[in-house]
Structure 1
Amino acid sequence: MVRWLVTCATEVGVYALDSIMQSWFTLFTPTEATSIVATTVMSNSTIVRLHLDCHQQEKLASSARTLALQCAMKDPQNCALSALTLCEKDQIAFETAYQIVLDAATTGMSYTQLFTIARYMEHRGYPMRAYKLATLAMAHLNLSYNQDTHPAINDVLWACALSHSLGKNELAAVIPLVVKSVKCATVLSDILRRCTLTTPGLVSVLHSRRNSGKLMSLDKAPLRQLLDATIGAYINTTHSRLTHISPRHYSEFIEFLGKARETFMMAHDGHIQFTQFIDNLKQIYKGKKKLMMLVRERFG
């Protein structure tokens, strides 16, 4: 019905198209208005079909942008990205759409929606805005210890990589958000390793041996906080796994401890910490004789 109405308006001409956009709220939902009506009006096929001159094109485009902003304010979850896309060629309208997203970020949008818009901003060449939206998205996220296949993991890794590429200050600001939102040890350890490979703010360092920048120290903020959180996550996850573990998962558990050891060893006293950790396991779970025998064989 919506497409039919837009087609009919197109057949009638510019006035009819402008009219349905001016009164969109009585005819369409916000999603229909942005994804179908405004998008169709601003398409090249409509311009060609109606033989629009520059003045007519701008008049329709202005109405479409106004419609898009109104829809974004009414339904930011479903219309914000469309509004940004439709307003790309008008700086003031684009800024307005971006502000609508920021205003809705704390209450009206999910982390998935915010990450999607953040990636769009990076693609459009606005890395700092992408970073801002990514931090807002992170505040809505909660990854528990056993969610190592969660669909948001790629977004978290992307956000950390973006922060790292922007510089130490941005990375230092995002790490506390990561520590608060992510409790999954394998995800935290992945982030930690990526942060230690290159110098913040220098994206190409990994492929250059003539780098004058210094890698960040694991003994200082912000990586120290991330390292401690990762070690803590491995400890908590280990105890959680041992609460209800069956013999068929023993080998997988031993491999998990092997990954944990790699992270422990990144700390200057990691060997001591890991030894104490293993000793505690052998004491607390001494009733699981077969499993503890496997632990002793692998880790002493």
Structure 2
Amino acid sequence: MPNMREIRERIGSIQQILKITNAMYLMSSSKLKKARKSLECTEPYFYKLQSTIESVLEHTPHTRQLYFDRRADIPEDKRKKGYIVITADKGLCGSYNHNILKYTDKKLDEAADLDNCYLFVMGQVGRMYYQRRINSNKKASVDGEFLYTTQNPTLYRASEVAELVLDKFEKRELDEVYLIYTDMINSNLQEPKTLRLLPFERKHFGKAADGTMKKLPKASFMPSPEEVMNYLIPQYAKGIIYGAMVEAFCCEQQSRMTAMDAATTSAKDMIKDLSLLYNRARQAAITQEITEVCGGAQSINE
């Protein structure tokens, strides 16, 4: 049995860890609420953008738009695909990073040609993982200058990412762009998800919640439908990326809250067990002292 001093030191160190896990839980909870509120404040703007794009497509169905070009003439094994992968900058968030990286690996394995796969990884954990992994045994390339953090998502950061991938799509450096991030189904369930960012699908615009086509009012667009779309599409792409960033950030914080709650519970259980062990050791020491005193008194009397 360890001595009382060792047990006290262990209890003290666990109590310090308990304070840290509690603090991390509270910080993640605060960040989660703040991110959710920020997304709720910006959603109406992007919903309006979507409805305007739907209106343009409804009234000018024959208008050609670069970002809707599917490039059907390019065979599957020759298509250059970009993947924006959103991971965390830090650990201590349960299986969050493991799940999204495993899911991305699966998507890469399904690709027709890894030489035509380009990764744009957000988050230090994912960036370090793929730089090591791909340099060793994978053919897909990682953009080494894509150094965006996932902490505290902002519209400015989403705008920069959108401008980058839209520019590469325009220059035909990429034929398809996908977002890979973690979607929060509910507070207890999170799932990695793939969302195609480019090219846009006309069929995704103009549908109501029940799947039927919306009836849109007549409208005219100045100076031209093409000019309006050239402004709207980058803004809409920014909104999609920002939404994915916030959703992934919320999932990260929820995972960290769950992990810290489990760590706090384990720490409390350990303190309880060590306190019991400490009390037993103290009781044994007291019993031994009483026995020694009684033995000494008996020897004197004899």
| Fold shared by both chains (TM-score > 0.5) | no
Query: Structure 1 or 2: larger helix share?
Result: 1
* TM-score of the superposed pair, with normalisation by structure 2: 0.23
After TM superposition, the score normalised by the length of structure 1 is 0.24
Q: Whose radius of gyration is greater, 1 or 2?
A: 2
Say which structure is richer in strand: 2
